[in-house]
Structure 1
């Protein structure tokens, strides 16, 4: 018989959290403890929270992201799990986020400063500043028109150099481009 666990008091309001996708057998036998108006269901355990949802990202006043399983499951509805310790505070004023780029997969994402993998080298930024930088990095990753103004043999090296500067310095994109 499953106990009725209550959610951690700081897990819902103004939080950042990364859930990892799990298979349906993980919630078998668990009692649904909450269902949102949008249709997401929640299961609380002593270790953490399971969320079943077809929408991830911004959640009310929080930022919850799902890391999908490999290979990715077919269903749009995903089940994610996060330990209570994975919920971190979020607000618009503090410099809480840093940016990570995966040059092989050509992706970029933000992480919370409380992430145990944070090496303290990437610049911490506010949510707004982080969003702005990520947009610039995605444009650099997906477009090539910006590169026509540079006399450069390897566009991938140039792209990586600019993105690295955007992550690890306070320089603006314009400053970085001028210095190259």
Structure 2
């Protein structure tokens, strides 16, 4: 079946099903299975996904790659050119941005200046992205990084970093 068919099923039905951790566990597990089944037929590359919770938005999804044992929390937004590694936890309400408005010229209204070309975000293996995190375009999240909840990520950090804040700053290294 075509990608368009599974996009229709996902956005028209599956995204509204209960979260995988709902009170009635069998219903949550079945809902998660349906969402995972759909995204495996939508994403460019898809490993064995642990969870896709409610209302995850990924546009057409055709250029998204996700590795094994990764999970995506409810209400998370992932642009179409994102690569997510193995064993990644994307908590709920995470927003990954891929482009920004052009705003250099003052003689042209902001709405008429357009946007910069999209930048790819890469999240390497074994990362934990906390709830309500915002990632600016083009971020590269190194292996083993933990991003604290509510952080705004405006730059990249070395592997095994623990970061948090607005803007996110290095709190400590895990190694």
TM-score range relative to shorter protein: under 0.3
- TM-score of the pair, normalised by structure 2: 0.27
Structure with more helix by fraction = 1
Structure with more strand by fraction = 1
- TM-score of the pair, normalised by structure 1: 0.27
Higher RCO (C-alpha under 8 Å, 6+ residues apart): 1
